[in-house]
A and B are shown apart, each in its own frame.
Chain A
Amino acid sequence: MECDRAVALLPRLIDDALWPFTRLRMNRHVAGCAACAGKLEELRAMQAAIRTNLPYHRAPPGLAARIGAALPREMAPRPLRPWFRMPAFGMAGTGLAGALAGVALTVLVLGGQPGMQSDVMQEVIGSHIRSLQADHLIDVQTSDQHTVKPWLSARLDVSPQVVELKDAGFPLVGGRMDYVDGHPAAVVVYRHAKHVINLFAWASSGKADATFHTEAQQGFNIVTWRHDGITYYAVSDVEADQLSEFAHLVAQGG
Protein backbone atom coordinates (compact mmCIF):
# COMPACT_ATOMS: atom_id res chain seq x y z
CA MET A 1 0.00 0.00 0.00
CA GLU A 2 1.23 3.48 -0.87
CA CYS A 3 1.77 5.97 1.93
CA ASP A 4 -0.68 8.58 0.69
CA ARG A 5 -3.37 5.95 0.47
CA ALA A 6 -2.50 4.71 3.94
CA VAL A 7 -2.53 8.22 5.42
CA ALA A 8 -6.01 8.78 4.06
CA LEU A 9 -7.17 5.58 5.72
CA LEU A 10 -5.59 6.24 9.12
CA PRO A 11 -8.71 7.90 10.58
CA ARG A 12 -10.83 4.96 9.57
CA LEU A 13 -8.34 2.68 11.24
CA ILE A 14 -8.64 4.44 14.59
CA ASP A 15 -12.40 4.68 14.18
CA ASP A 16 -12.61 0.97 13.58
CA ALA A 17 -14.37 1.59 10.31
CA LEU A 18 -12.37 -0.52 7.89
CA TRP A 19 -13.24 -3.84 6.37
CA PRO A 20 -11.12 -6.62 7.87
CA PHE A 21 -9.07 -7.07 4.73
CA THR A 22 -8.22 -3.39 4.41
CA ARG A 23 -7.46 -3.24 8.09
CA LEU A 24 -5.06 -6.10 7.69
CA ARG A 25 -3.28 -4.35 4.84
CA MET A 26 -3.16 -1.11 6.82
CA ASN A 27 -1.69 -2.79 9.85
CA ARG A 28 0.89 -4.44 7.66
CA HIS A 29 1.81 -1.12 6.07
CA VAL A 30 2.03 0.73 9.37
CA ALA A 31 4.20 -2.00 10.83
CA GLY A 32 6.79 -1.35 8.16
CA CYS A 33 6.47 2.43 7.76
CA ALA A 34 7.76 4.68 10.51
CA ALA A 35 6.18 7.80 9.03
CA CYS A 36 2.69 6.33 8.96
CA ALA A 37 3.18 4.65 12.32
CA GLY A 38 4.03 8.03 13.82
CA LYS A 39 0.90 9.60 12.39
CA LEU A 40 -1.20 6.75 13.62
CA GLU A 41 0.23 7.15 17.07
CA GLU A 42 -0.55 10.86 17.05
CA LEU A 43 -4.11 10.29 15.93
CA ARG A 44 -4.62 7.70 18.63
CA ALA A 45 -3.14 10.05 21.23
CA MET A 46 -5.48 12.80 20.13
CA GLN A 47 -8.47 10.50 20.21
CA ALA A 48 -7.55 9.37 23.70
CA ALA A 49 -7.04 12.98 24.81
CA ILE A 50 -10.48 14.06 23.63
CA ARG A 51 -12.17 11.03 25.09
CA THR A 52 -10.61 11.35 28.50
CA ASN A 53 -9.87 15.05 28.94
CA LEU A 54 -12.56 16.97 27.13
CA PRO A 55 -14.97 18.39 29.73
CA TYR A 56 -18.41 16.87 29.57
CA HIS A 57 -21.11 19.44 30.24
CA ARG A 58 -23.95 17.87 32.17
CA ALA A 59 -27.37 19.45 31.97
CA PRO A 60 -27.82 22.03 34.73
CA PRO A 61 -30.31 21.04 37.43
CA GLY A 62 -32.94 23.62 36.49
CA LEU A 63 -33.12 22.68 32.84
CA ALA A 64 -35.44 19.70 33.24
CA ALA A 65 -37.88 21.87 35.14
CA ARG A 66 -37.84 24.53 32.45
CA ILE A 67 -38.53 21.99 29.76
CA GLY A 68 -41.37 20.50 31.78
CA ALA A 69 -42.94 23.89 32.27
CA ALA A 70 -42.66 24.66 28.58
CA LEU A 71 -44.33 21.50 27.35
CA PRO A 72 -47.75 22.25 25.92
CA ARG A 73 -50.40 22.20 28.64
CA GLU A 74 -52.85 20.00 26.84
CA MET A 75 -50.18 17.38 26.66
CA ALA A 76 -50.20 17.13 30.39
CA PRO A 77 -53.76 16.75 31.59
CA ARG A 78 -52.66 15.38 34.92
CA PRO A 79 -49.78 16.48 37.08
CA LEU A 80 -47.98 13.18 36.98
CA ARG A 81 -44.97 14.25 38.99
CA PRO A 82 -43.14 14.59 35.73
CA TRP A 83 -39.43 14.02 35.84
CA PHE A 84 -39.06 17.55 34.55
CA ARG A 85 -39.69 18.78 38.03
CA MET A 86 -36.95 16.76 39.54
CA PRO A 87 -34.17 19.08 40.61
CA ALA A 88 -31.52 16.43 40.40
CA PHE A 89 -32.36 15.55 36.87
CA GLY A 90 -29.18 17.04 35.58
CA MET A 91 -27.40 14.36 37.47
CA ALA A 92 -29.24 11.73 35.52
CA GLY A 93 -26.14 10.26 34.02
CA THR A 94 -24.33 10.05 37.28
CA GLY A 95 -27.30 8.83 39.25
CA LEU A 96 -28.17 6.26 36.70
CA ALA A 97 -24.64 4.97 36.45
CA GLY A 98 -24.44 4.80 40.22
CA ALA A 99 -27.72 3.05 40.49
CA LEU A 100 -26.83 0.58 37.80
CA ALA A 101 -23.40 0.00 39.16
CA GLY A 102 -24.98 -0.88 42.46
CA VAL A 103 -26.09 -4.34 41.80
CA ALA A 104 -27.16 -7.65 40.69
CA LEU A 105 -30.71 -7.78 39.81
CA THR A 106 -33.07 -10.32 40.90
CA VAL A 107 -36.76 -10.46 40.54
CA LEU A 108 -38.91 -12.72 42.55
CA VAL A 109 -42.03 -13.63 40.76
CA LEU A 110 -43.52 -16.89 41.61
CA GLY A 111 -45.64 -19.43 40.00
CA GLY A 112 -48.32 -17.73 38.04
CA GLN A 113 -45.89 -15.17 36.67
CA PRO A 114 -48.08 -12.17 37.33
CA GLY A 115 -47.23 -10.27 34.24
CA MET A 116 -43.49 -10.37 34.03
CA GLN A 117 -43.74 -8.87 30.61
CA SER A 118 -40.52 -7.15 29.86
CA ASP A 119 -42.18 -3.85 28.99
CA VAL A 120 -43.92 -3.69 32.33
CA MET A 121 -40.64 -4.57 33.94
CA GLN A 122 -38.96 -1.77 32.01
CA GLU A 123 -41.57 0.73 33.10
CA VAL A 124 -41.23 -0.27 36.70
CA ILE A 125 -37.45 -0.11 36.57
CA GLY A 126 -37.57 3.21 34.75
CA SER A 127 -39.83 4.66 37.40
CA HIS A 128 -37.57 3.29 40.10
CA ILE A 129 -34.52 4.87 38.49
CA ARG A 130 -36.23 8.24 38.23
CA SER A 131 -37.22 8.04 41.86
CA LEU A 132 -33.56 7.62 42.75
CA GLN A 133 -32.52 10.68 40.84
CA ALA A 134 -34.70 12.95 42.88
CA ASP A 135 -35.23 12.47 46.52
CA HIS A 136 -38.77 13.65 46.36
CA LEU A 137 -40.52 11.27 44.07
CA ILE A 138 -42.96 11.03 46.86
CA ASP A 139 -46.35 12.70 46.75
CA VAL A 140 -47.16 12.03 50.34
CA GLN A 141 -44.23 11.93 52.67
CA THR A 142 -44.81 10.18 55.93
CA SER A 143 -43.70 7.28 57.97
CA ASP A 144 -47.24 6.69 59.09
CA GLN A 145 -48.99 3.85 57.31
CA HIS A 146 -52.34 5.23 58.40
CA THR A 147 -51.67 8.29 56.31
CA VAL A 148 -50.29 6.56 53.23
CA LYS A 149 -52.99 3.97 52.86
CA PRO A 150 -56.01 6.30 52.80
CA TRP A 151 -54.09 8.71 50.59
CA LEU A 152 -53.54 5.98 48.03
CA SER A 153 -57.00 4.49 48.43
CA ALA A 154 -58.57 7.84 47.72
CA ARG A 155 -56.80 8.01 44.39
CA LEU A 156 -56.76 4.47 43.18
CA ASP A 157 -59.08 1.62 42.56
CA VAL A 158 -56.94 -0.57 44.74
CA SER A 159 -56.11 -0.63 48.37
CA PRO A 160 -52.66 -2.11 48.54
CA GLN A 161 -50.96 -3.42 51.63
CA VAL A 162 -49.21 -0.63 53.44
CA VAL A 163 -47.38 -1.95 56.44
CA GLU A 164 -44.97 -0.58 58.96
CA LEU A 165 -41.74 -2.53 58.75
CA LYS A 166 -39.43 -0.24 60.61
CA ASP A 167 -38.55 -2.84 63.18
CA ALA A 168 -37.60 -5.23 60.44
CA GLY A 169 -35.26 -2.60 58.99
CA PHE A 170 -37.55 -1.27 56.27
CA PRO A 171 -38.88 2.10 57.40
CA LEU A 172 -41.79 3.52 55.44
CA VAL A 173 -40.97 6.78 53.67
CA GLY A 174 -44.09 7.70 51.79
CA GLY A 175 -46.17 7.04 48.73
CA ARG A 176 -46.91 8.33 45.30
CA MET A 177 -49.08 7.76 42.26
CA ASP A 178 -47.61 6.32 39.15
CA TYR A 179 -48.58 4.84 35.84
CA VAL A 180 -47.59 1.35 34.79
CA ASP A 181 -48.76 -0.63 31.82
CA GLY A 182 -51.44 1.94 31.16
CA HIS A 183 -52.98 1.66 34.64
CA PRO A 184 -52.76 3.87 37.65
CA ALA A 185 -50.45 2.33 40.18
CA ALA A 186 -49.74 2.97 43.82
CA VAL A 187 -46.14 3.18 44.85
CA VAL A 188 -45.26 2.76 48.48
CA VAL A 189 -41.73 3.87 49.21
CA TYR A 190 -39.55 2.23 51.82
CA ARG A 191 -35.94 2.48 52.76
CA HIS A 192 -33.45 -0.12 53.74
CA ALA A 193 -30.24 1.45 55.03
CA LYS A 194 -29.27 3.82 52.20
CA HIS A 195 -31.36 2.03 49.64
CA VAL A 196 -34.77 2.90 48.32
CA ILE A 197 -37.38 0.25 47.77
CA ASN A 198 -40.26 1.13 45.51
CA LEU A 199 -43.25 -1.13 46.00
CA PHE A 200 -45.60 -0.86 43.03
CA ALA A 201 -49.16 -2.12 43.28
CA TRP A 202 -51.97 -2.09 40.78
CA ALA A 203 -55.30 -3.76 40.32
CA SER A 204 -55.47 -6.95 38.33
CA SER A 205 -58.85 -8.21 39.37
CA GLY A 206 -59.95 -11.60 38.21
CA LYS A 207 -56.41 -12.88 38.04
CA ALA A 208 -55.31 -15.75 40.25
CA ASP A 209 -52.92 -15.22 43.11
CA ALA A 210 -49.29 -15.86 42.32
CA THR A 211 -46.45 -16.57 44.67
CA PHE A 212 -43.15 -14.77 44.83
CA HIS A 213 -40.90 -14.59 41.86
CA THR A 214 -37.46 -13.03 41.94
CA GLU A 215 -35.56 -11.62 39.04
CA ALA A 216 -32.51 -9.47 38.45
CA GLN A 217 -32.47 -6.91 35.71
CA GLN A 218 -30.36 -3.89 34.83
CA GLY A 219 -28.69 -4.01 38.18
CA PHE A 220 -31.86 -4.17 40.23
CA ASN A 221 -33.60 -6.88 42.13
CA ILE A 222 -37.27 -7.26 41.57
CA VAL A 223 -39.76 -9.38 43.48
CA THR A 224 -43.27 -9.76 42.17
CA TRP A 225 -46.36 -11.50 43.41
CA ARG A 226 -50.10 -11.20 43.15
CA HIS A 227 -52.59 -11.33 45.96
CA ASP A 228 -56.27 -10.52 46.24
CA GLY A 229 -56.43 -9.08 42.74
CA ILE A 230 -53.46 -6.78 43.23
CA THR A 231 -50.15 -7.18 41.45
CA TYR A 232 -47.07 -6.15 43.42
CA TYR A 233 -43.60 -5.28 42.15
CA ALA A 234 -40.88 -4.54 44.66
CA VAL A 235 -37.84 -2.96 43.02
CA SER A 236 -34.57 -2.05 44.65
CA ASP A 237 -30.86 -2.49 44.64
CA VAL A 238 -30.93 -4.15 48.04
CA GLU A 239 -29.79 -7.72 47.96
CA ALA A 240 -32.15 -10.30 46.59
CA ASP A 241 -32.48 -12.15 49.88
CA GLN A 242 -33.40 -9.01 51.75
CA LEU A 243 -35.81 -7.85 49.12
CA SER A 244 -37.40 -11.27 49.21
CA GLU A 245 -37.73 -10.99 52.97
CA PHE A 246 -39.26 -7.56 52.53
CA ALA A 247 -41.76 -8.93 50.03
CA HIS A 248 -42.79 -11.71 52.40
CA LEU A 249 -43.26 -9.26 55.23
CA VAL A 250 -45.45 -7.03 53.10
CA ALA A 251 -47.52 -9.97 51.91
CA GLN A 252 -47.98 -11.15 55.50
CA GLY A 253 -49.15 -7.72 56.48
CA GLY A 254 -46.15 -6.95 58.64
Chain B
Amino acid sequence: MPHDDRRRRFELLALPHLDAAYNLARWLAGNTTDAEDVVQDAYLRAFRYFDAFQGGNFRVWLLTIVRNAFMTWVKENRSSRMTFVPATPAAETADNEEIMWGSRPRDPEALLLESIDSQTLSRLMEQLPAEYREVLLLREVEDLAYKEIAEVTGVPMGTVMSRLSRARLSLRKLWLAQAETENAHGV
Protein backbone atom coordinates (compact mmCIF):
# COMPACT_ATOMS: atom_id res chain seq x y z
CA MET B 1 0.00 0.00 0.00
CA PRO B 2 2.51 2.61 -0.99
CA HIS B 3 -0.17 5.29 -1.32
CA ASP B 4 -1.47 4.66 2.15
CA ASP B 5 2.00 4.76 3.57
CA ARG B 6 2.77 7.96 1.81
CA ARG B 7 -0.46 9.52 2.92
CA ARG B 8 0.07 8.36 6.43
CA ARG B 9 3.56 9.80 6.62
CA PHE B 10 2.20 13.02 5.21
CA GLU B 11 -0.54 13.07 7.83
CA LEU B 12 1.87 12.48 10.65
CA LEU B 13 4.11 15.32 9.55
CA ALA B 14 1.55 17.80 8.28
CA LEU B 15 -1.14 17.30 10.89
CA PRO B 16 0.48 19.21 13.72
CA HIS B 17 1.16 22.26 11.55
CA LEU B 18 -2.29 23.07 10.19
CA ASP B 19 -2.78 25.83 12.73
CA ALA B 20 0.62 27.36 11.94
CA ALA B 21 -0.12 27.19 8.21
CA TYR B 22 -3.53 28.72 8.67
CA ASN B 23 -2.34 31.46 11.00
CA LEU B 24 0.27 32.57 8.49
CA ALA B 25 -2.18 32.42 5.59
CA ARG B 26 -4.80 34.26 7.59
CA TRP B 27 -2.46 37.11 8.40
CA LEU B 28 -1.24 37.30 4.84
CA ALA B 29 -4.60 37.03 3.09
CA GLY B 30 -6.49 39.07 5.63
CA ASN B 31 -9.69 37.04 5.77
CA THR B 32 -10.79 33.52 6.55
CA THR B 33 -12.14 32.51 3.16
CA ASP B 34 -9.01 33.34 1.24
CA ALA B 35 -6.81 31.96 3.99
CA GLU B 36 -8.62 28.64 3.75
CA ASP B 37 -8.14 28.54 0.00
CA VAL B 38 -4.47 29.31 0.36
CA VAL B 39 -3.93 26.64 3.01
CA GLN B 40 -5.85 24.06 1.03
CA ASP B 41 -3.81 24.78 -2.04
CA ALA B 42 -0.64 24.64 0.04
CA TYR B 43 -1.52 21.25 1.52
CA LEU B 44 -2.28 19.82 -1.89
CA ARG B 45 1.03 21.11 -3.18
CA ALA B 46 2.84 19.79 -0.14
CA PHE B 47 1.29 16.37 -0.66
CA ARG B 48 2.21 16.43 -4.33
CA TYR B 49 5.81 17.42 -3.64
CA PHE B 50 6.07 15.42 -0.46
CA ASP B 51 8.74 13.18 -1.96
CA ALA B 52 10.90 16.23 -2.44
CA PHE B 53 10.99 16.91 1.26
CA GLN B 54 14.56 16.17 2.21
CA GLY B 55 14.15 16.01 5.92
CA GLY B 56 14.93 18.91 8.17
CA ASN B 57 12.30 21.17 9.61
CA PHE B 58 8.96 20.18 8.15
CA ARG B 59 7.20 23.27 9.49
CA VAL B 60 9.66 25.51 7.65
CA TRP B 61 9.16 23.50 4.49
CA LEU B 62 5.38 23.67 4.82
CA LEU B 63 5.33 27.39 5.60
CA THR B 64 7.44 27.99 2.51
CA ILE B 65 4.76 26.26 0.48
CA VAL B 66 2.01 28.22 2.21
CA ARG B 67 3.86 31.39 1.35
CA ASN B 68 4.24 30.35 -2.29
CA ALA B 69 0.59 29.39 -2.47
CA PHE B 70 -0.27 32.82 -1.15
CA MET B 71 1.89 34.51 -3.80
CA THR B 72 0.12 32.50 -6.49
CA TRP B 73 -3.20 33.50 -5.02
CA VAL B 74 -2.15 37.16 -5.11
CA LYS B 75 -1.26 36.87 -8.77
CA GLU B 76 -4.37 34.99 -9.78
CA ASN B 77 -6.67 37.34 -7.96
CA ARG B 78 -4.75 40.47 -8.82
CA SER B 79 -4.89 41.20 -5.14
CA SER B 80 -3.04 44.11 -3.71
CA ARG B 81 -2.45 42.24 -0.48
CA MET B 82 1.21 41.83 -1.17
CA THR B 83 2.03 45.48 -1.33
CA PHE B 84 5.73 45.87 -1.34
CA VAL B 85 7.29 48.79 0.35
CA PRO B 86 8.89 51.07 -2.21
CA ALA B 87 12.53 50.21 -1.88
CA THR B 88 13.97 53.65 -2.12
CA PRO B 89 17.74 53.69 -1.94
CA ALA B 90 17.55 55.59 1.32
CA ALA B 91 15.34 52.99 2.92
CA GLU B 92 17.74 50.24 1.99
CA THR B 93 20.77 51.67 3.67
CA ALA B 94 21.63 50.50 7.12
CA ASP B 95 22.38 53.91 8.56
CA ASN B 96 18.78 54.77 8.00
CA GLU B 97 18.05 53.13 11.31
CA GLU B 98 18.58 56.32 13.24
CA ILE B 99 16.11 58.17 11.04
CA MET B 100 13.59 55.37 11.39
CA TRP B 101 13.83 55.55 15.14
CA GLY B 102 13.18 59.27 15.05
CA SER B 103 13.30 61.22 18.22
CA ARG B 104 12.36 59.44 21.35
CA PRO B 105 9.04 60.52 22.77
CA ARG B 106 9.30 62.74 25.81
CA ASP B 107 7.19 60.48 27.95
CA PRO B 108 7.75 56.77 28.40
CA GLU B 109 4.69 56.19 26.24
CA ALA B 110 6.43 53.85 23.90
CA LEU B 111 7.01 51.37 26.64
CA LEU B 112 3.27 51.02 27.09
CA LEU B 113 3.41 49.08 23.88
CA GLU B 114 3.88 46.05 26.05
CA SER B 115 0.35 46.41 27.34
CA ILE B 116 -1.25 47.07 23.96
CA ASP B 117 -4.52 45.16 23.61
CA SER B 118 -4.72 42.49 20.98
CA GLN B 119 -7.39 44.24 18.96
CA THR B 120 -5.30 47.37 18.55
CA LEU B 121 -2.22 45.33 17.82
CA SER B 122 -4.11 43.40 15.14
CA ARG B 123 -5.21 46.62 13.51
CA LEU B 124 -1.69 48.01 13.47
CA MET B 125 -0.33 44.76 12.05
CA GLU B 126 -2.94 44.94 9.31
CA GLN B 127 -1.66 48.37 8.37
CA LEU B 128 1.85 47.09 7.84
CA PRO B 129 2.97 46.11 4.36
CA ALA B 130 2.53 42.37 3.88
CA GLU B 131 6.22 41.62 3.82
CA TYR B 132 6.71 43.35 7.16
CA ARG B 133 3.75 41.56 8.66
CA GLU B 134 5.06 38.31 7.32
CA VAL B 135 8.55 38.68 8.69
CA LEU B 136 7.22 39.66 12.12
CA LEU B 137 4.93 36.64 12.20
CA LEU B 138 7.64 34.24 11.20
CA ARG B 139 10.01 35.67 13.75
CA GLU B 140 7.79 36.33 16.76
CA VAL B 141 4.94 33.90 16.37
CA GLU B 142 6.59 30.99 14.61
CA ASP B 143 9.87 31.72 16.36
CA LEU B 144 11.90 30.98 13.26
CA ALA B 145 15.60 31.82 13.04
CA TYR B 146 16.77 34.36 10.43
CA LYS B 147 18.06 31.55 8.26
CA GLU B 148 14.69 29.81 8.32
CA ILE B 149 12.84 33.03 7.57
CA ALA B 150 15.18 33.49 4.62
CA GLU B 151 14.21 30.02 3.42
CA VAL B 152 10.48 30.67 3.72
CA THR B 153 10.52 34.10 2.12
CA GLY B 154 13.17 33.33 -0.47
CA VAL B 155 15.39 36.31 0.25
CA PRO B 156 18.95 36.51 1.58
CA MET B 157 19.51 36.57 5.31
CA GLY B 158 20.75 40.14 5.22
CA THR B 159 17.46 41.21 3.68
CA VAL B 160 15.59 39.32 6.38
CA MET B 161 17.46 41.22 9.06
CA SER B 162 16.96 44.67 7.58
CA ARG B 163 13.34 43.91 6.74
CA LEU B 164 12.66 42.71 10.24
CA SER B 165 14.30 45.77 11.69
CA ARG B 166 12.24 48.08 9.52
CA ALA B 167 9.10 46.12 10.25
CA ARG B 168 9.60 46.65 13.96
CA LEU B 169 10.27 50.33 13.58
CA SER B 170 7.24 50.74 11.33
CA LEU B 171 5.05 49.03 13.87
CA ARG B 172 6.49 51.23 16.58
CA LYS B 173 5.75 54.33 14.50
CA LEU B 174 2.17 53.25 13.92
CA TRP B 175 1.76 52.59 17.59
CA LEU B 176 3.13 55.97 18.59
CA ALA B 177 0.79 57.67 16.13
CA GLN B 178 -2.09 55.68 17.51
CA ALA B 179 -1.20 56.57 21.10
CA GLU B 180 -1.01 60.22 20.12
CA THR B 181 -4.45 60.11 18.54
CA GLU B 182 -5.85 58.49 21.63
CA ASN B 183 -4.34 61.16 23.82
CA ALA B 184 -5.64 63.91 21.58
CA HIS B 185 -9.12 62.48 21.98
CA GLY B 186 -8.71 62.22 25.69
CA VAL B 187 -9.07 58.48 25.68
Interface residues in chain A, defined as those with a beta carbon under 8 Å from any beta carbon in chain B: 4, 7-8, 11-12, 15, 17, 35, 38-39, 41-43, 45-51, 53-60, 63-64, 66-67, 70-72, 74-78, 80, 82-83, 89-90, 92-93, 96, 122-123, 126, 130, 179, 182
Please tell me if B94 contacts chain A, counting CB pairs below 8 Å.
yes
Q: Using Cβ atoms and an 8 Å threshold, which residues of chain A touch B125?
A: 54
Q: Using Cβ atoms and an 8 Å threshold, which residues of chain B touch A54?
A: 118, 121-122, 125, 140-141
Cβ 8 A contact of B4, one of A41, A43, A78: A78
B176 smallest CB distance to A (angstroms): 10
A15 smallest CB distance to B (angstroms): 7
Q: Using Cβ atoms and an 8 Å threshold, which residues of chain A touch B104?
A: 35, 38-39
Interface residues in chain B, defined as those with a beta carbon under 8 Å from any beta carbon in chain A: 1, 3-8, 11-12, 15-16, 18-19, 21-23, 26-27, 32, 35-36, 39-40, 43-44, 47, 94-95, 97-98, 101, 104, 110-111, 113-118, 121-122, 125, 136, 139-141, 145-146, 161, 164-165, 168, 171-172, 175
Cβ 8 A contact of A179, one of B4, B40, B161: B4
Q: Using Cβ atoms and an 8 Å threshold, which residues of chain A touch B36?
A: 60, 63, 66
A45 smallest CB distance to B (angstroms): 4
Decide: B168 and A11 in contact? CB cutoff 8 A. yes
Decide: B16 and A57 in contact? CB cutoff 8 A. no
Cβ 8 A contact of B101, one of A7, A55, A66, A78: A7
Secondary structure dominating the interface of A: helix
Decide: A76 and B3 in contact? CB cutoff 8 A. yes
What are 21 A-B pairs at a CB distance below 8 A?
A4-B95, A8-B165, A35-B104, A38-B104, A39-B104, A41-B111, A45-B111, A46-B113, A46-B114, A49-B121, A51-B140, A54-B125, A59-B22, A67-B43, A71-B47, A80-B7, A82-B11, A90-B22, A92-B15, A130-B11, A182-B1
Q: Using Cβ atoms and an 8 Å threshold, which residues of chain B touch A55?
A: 118, 122
Decide: B44 and A71 in contact? CB cutoff 8 A. yes
A124 smallest CB distance to B (angstroms): 11
B82 smallest CB distance to A (angstroms): 18
A148 smallest CB distance to B (angstroms): 23
Bound Cα distance from A38 to B146, whole angstroms: 24
Minimal Cβ-Cβ distance residue in A for B12: A126
Minimal Cβ-Cβ distance residue in B for A123: B12
**Contacts A54-B122, A60-B32, A96-B16; A67 near B110 (Cβ below 8 A):** no
Q: Using Cβ atoms and an 8 Å threshold, which residues of chain B touch A179?
A: 1, 4-5, 8
Decide: B141 and A4 in contact? CB cutoff 8 A. no
Q: Using Cβ atoms and an 8 Å threshold, which residues of chain B touch A56?
A: 19, 23, 141
The tally of CB-CB contacts under 8 A between chains A and B is 148
5 new A-B pairs (CB below 8 Å) besides A7-B98, A74-B3, A80-B7? A35-B104, A46-B114, A71-B7, A75-B3, A92-B19
Decide: B40 and A67 in contact? CB cutoff 8 A. yes
Decide: A182 and B5 in contact? CB cutoff 8 A. yes
Decide: A83 and B11 in contact? CB cutoff 8 A. yes
A20 smallest CB distance to B (angstroms): 16
Decide: B121 and A50 in contact? CB cutoff 8 A. yes
**Contacts A8-B97, A39-B101, A179-B8; A50 near B18 (Cβ below 8 A):** no
Bound Cα distance from A233 to B78, whole angstroms: 53
Decide: A7 and B7 in contact? CB cutoff 8 A. no
Decide: A51 and B141 in contact? CB cutoff 8 A. yes
Decide: A45 and B164 in contact? CB cutoff 8 A. no
B75 smallest CB distance to A (angstroms): 20
**Contacts A58-B23, A70-B40; A49 near B101 (Cβ below 8 A):** no
Decide: B161 and A11 in contact? CB cutoff 8 A. yes
Minimal Cβ-Cβ distance residue in A for B44: A70
Q: Using Cβ atoms and an 8 Å threshold, which residues of chain A touch B8?
A: 80, 123, 179
Decide: A64 and B141 in contact? CB cutoff 8 A. no
Decide: B118 and A42 in contact? CB cutoff 8 A. no
A141 smallest CB distance to B (angstroms): 22
